[in-house]
Amino acid sequence: MKTTTPRLLGLCTLLAAIGAHAAEMPRIVAKDGRHALMVDGAPFLVLGGQAHNSSNYPAALPKVWSALADAHANTLEIPVAWEQVEAKEGQFDFSYVDTLVREARKHDKRLVLLWFGTWKNTGAAYTPEWVKFNNARFPRMIDQDGKNSYCLSPFGQDTLAADKKAFVALMEHIKRIDGEDKTIIMVQVENEVGTYGLARDHGKRAQAAFRQPVPAAVLARQKPAAGRPAKGSWAEVYGDYADQYFHTWAIASYIEEIAKAGQAVYGLPMFVNNALRDPLAEPAPPWKKDFASGGPTHDVLGIYQAAAPHIAFSGPDIYMPESNKVSAILRQFQTRDNALMVPEMGNGASYARYLYQIIGKGAIGVAPFGIDYAEYSNYPLGAKFTDKRMVEPFAKIYGVFAPMQRQWARWAFEGRTYGVAEGDDRAAQNVEMKGWKATLSFREFQFGEREYLKDKNEFMAGTEQPSGGVAIAQVGPDEFVLVGQQIRVKFSGSGANAGKPSMFARVEEGRFDADGKWLMERNWNGDQTDYGVNLPATPTVLKVRLGTY
């Protein structure tokens, strides 16, 4: 057992009293297959927004902060580009990072920095010019015909050394300016890595490595293809998957070197993000030029875990608006070994309802992309609007979660939370909880049942597009907190309560304050509860208690 001497205790008390102690280091913790991001020593829910790619300059920040404030976001994800911090080799300029951190504190936001280094959306665009145009020193991948690819090779030793050096310098700088406050809570290493159009490098070093036996750590986490030997070369063990798996291992190993070196100087949690492959093609078929080979796609998370232990998780960048795809993606990226965090998501209005599903499933965070009033829209991936109309669908939901985010993150870590978004099919859904089932339906009028309507195809105004969702926390055996919109929720006994008649004991509308205290505004009864609870278009927080008789 650890003991603290009285002298040390005295020192701690003194430091605490004068506020001179450093905040606790952010870290990701796991328990029973669930995860939490600890910030200042307690679970934290990232209600994030990602800035546009070119907003990583002091002059661009005002339009980022105003969008973030309107969104009620608590965290900004924003790039730090290798080209901007080391335009001349060996000369570092972190003045942008200084401005960013200073302004983040002023705006009361946390930061997730995105290291745009060797690879940004697989390409070399964010490397400094002295890297971009020196193939001899910083080799590109070579294809089967001996031609250069656009993508830098993960076997480029000088490229790795140079990227690592710049990243370490960044982490040293962060430690210097933020080691006390911890405004920066995570770092993404590279951005959407992998290679389009070419499965792996065929350069000399790559070819030699490809002939080597698959490392034991990879074998332990990535099963051989059906009917293949348990060990041997990549081609022997993985057959049609060999090129993709080998490239995945090569890129993950490269990223590991960078993350490990960065964490050795300042140990922030680090992660990677992923340009997704088709989530519905399962089991995942071999690569056919249909996604970036080598990226941390759901089918190769095991290879990343084996090769890059300093990477905490891979996060899906969700630009697939279909609800069945989103559900599959969330399932694939939330595993015992991979904390769910959605570092990017389209900022079109149809994505907003997924916040309920993502937050309810116990993600450590989410960040729609392009929460930034720069006059740029990435439509059709995201919204056409670049003003308040873009932020509004997310803002109203973040607005209700913001004051209770610490409380919610605790419940999620305890495994009490569930999340649902309205499907494209508009069909009802069930959620099984402990002793209770919630039946969720959409497009309902707030009063009465559908069969009472003369026209069975008459629907509530404003529900033309799917926009409903709810996040539920079971805070006691018969007690629930609901945060949702455009949804009807009915409860019935299940498990230990199966078959028992039940009714609402109380349905309070209100909100949680920042200390986790419930502030009741009114009690719903009568028409407001006779047909389940019908949450309006405005996100609403209810505290529901049920009973059986």
Residues that bind ligand DGJ (CB under 6 A): 53, 121, 191-192, 317, 344, 369, 378, 381
Q: How far is the CB of 46 from ligand DGJ (least distance, A)?
A: 17
Nearest CB to ligand DGJ, comparing residues 233 and 378 = 378
Nearest CB to ligand DGJ, comparing residues 191 and 528 = 191
Nearest CB to ligand DGJ, comparing residues 163 and 317 = 317
Backbone φ, ψ for residue 97 (5° rounding): -65, -40
Amino acid at 182: K
What CA–CA distance (Å, rounded) separates 289 from 245? 14
Q: Which residues contact 278 (CB under 8 A, 6 or more apart)?
A: 290, 291
Nearest CB to ligand DGJ, comparing residues 344 and 422 = 344
Nearest CB to ligand DGJ, comparing residues 185 and 367 = 367
DSSP, collapsed to helix, strand or coil, labels residue 277 as coil
Q: How far is the CB of 370 from ligand DGJ (least distance, A)?
A: 7
Q: How far is the CB of 492 from ligand DGJ (least distance, A)?
A: 42
Q: How far is the CB of 311 from ligand DGJ (least distance, A)?
A: 16
Taking CB atoms, the residue at the shortest distance from ligand DGJ is 378
Nearest CB to ligand DGJ, comparing residues 50 and 485 = 50
Q: Look at strands 487-493 and 42-44 and give their pairing.
A: unpaired
What CA–CA distance (Å, rounded) separates 343 from 359? 13
What CA–CA distance (Å, rounded) separates 519 from 513? 7
DSSP, collapsed to helix, strand or coil, labels residue 343 as strand
Q: How far is the CB of 31 from ligand DGJ (least distance, A)?
A: 30
Query: Among 381, 386, 369, which residue's Cα sits nearest to residue 77?
Result: 369
Nearest CB to ligand DGJ, comparing residues 53 and 253 = 53
Q: How far is the CB of 192 from ligand DGJ (least distance, A)?
A: 4
Backbone φ, ψ for residue 360 (5° rounding): -65, -30
Tokens 């399962």, located at residue? 282
What CA–CA distance (Å, rounded) separates 21 from 267? 18
Nearest CB to ligand DGJ, comparing residues 120 and 353 = 120
Nearest CB to ligand DGJ, comparing residues 326 and 481 = 326
Q: Note the helical H segments in 118-197.
A: 129-132, 157-178
Q: How far is the CB of 77 from ligand DGJ (least distance, A)?
A: 10
Q: Look at strands 502-512 and 518-523 and give their pairing.
A: antiparallel
Torsion of CA 495, 497, 503, 507, to 10 degrees: -50
Q: How far is the CB of 206 from ligand DGJ (least distance, A)?
A: 25
Q: Which residues contact 219 (CB under 8 A, 6 or more apart)?
A: 230, 231, 237
Tokens 């990227």, located at residue? 163
Q: How far is the CB of 317 from ligand DGJ (least distance, A)?
A: 5
